Amino acid sequence: MGDGLVYFEDLEIGTKASFGHYAVTRDEVIEFATKYDPQPFHLDDDAAALTHFGRLSASGWHTCAMVMRMLVDNMTTRKQAGLGSPGLDELRWLKPVYPGDVLRIETELLSKKRSQSRPEMGSMQSIVRVFNQDDVMVMSMHSIGLIQVRNP
């Protein structure tokens, strides 16, 4: 099938990728937090100064959302026969993300597995590491993706 898509059979364990450039703005941090995570240290400099964050920082869920945007933008450069994600493991918010930060991603394919019950699909486990402009890792997670098998 010469459709140019990446299928389960094409995945090579150990494959690494490095991509993404997301500039975190103060307006976006406050907008996201106002809607979804209105804790004072995500909304207000003075409140944040009283915490270990030190200053206004992004909601961890906002960081996840920004990471997802970089992952989706990268998918379009090399399209996978993806079937969505059932979830993830070991998500860690390691360091605060601040307005002014620029985020990027490194991924590594850890393993893949054919489905026992559904021969037309498989799963893949990747580690996603998120860094800021100082190459400090701010977040990591083990993501799980489902992908079509080319020849079931």
**Which of positions 67-96 make contact with a second copy (CB under 8 A)?**
68-69, 72, 75, 83-94
Q: Which residues of 64-89 are buried (b: 16+ CB within 10 A; e: fewer)?
A: bebbeebbeeeeeeeebbeeeeeeee
Contact 34, 43 (CB under 8 A): yes
* HSE value, Cβ hemisphere, 13 Å, CA-based, for 88: 13
- Residue in 25, 39, 111, 133 binding a second copy, rule: CB under 8 A: 39
Q: Which stretch binds a second copy (CB under 8 A): 12-20, 30-38, 107-115, 126-134?
A: 30-38
Nearest-approach distance from CB 42 to a second copy, in angstroms: 9
- Under the binding rule (CB under 8 A), the answer on residue 19 touching a second copy is no
- Under the binding rule (CB under 8 A), the answer on residue 36 touching a second copy is yes
Of 1 and 72, CB closest to a second copy: 72
Instruction: Give CA separation, 80 vs 38, 61, 127, 134, 137, in Å.
Output: 36, 25, 17, 31, 26
Contact 32, 62 (CB under 8 A): yes
Q: Which stretch binds a second copy (CB under 8 A): 5-13, 59-67, 103-111, 128-136?
A: 59-67
- Nearest in space to 2 (alpha carbons), one of 69, 56, 66, 81: 81
Of 12 and 73, CB closest to a second copy: 73
Binding site for a second copy (CB under 8 A): 32, 35-39, 41, 51-53, 59-61, 64-66, 68-69, 72, 75, 83-94
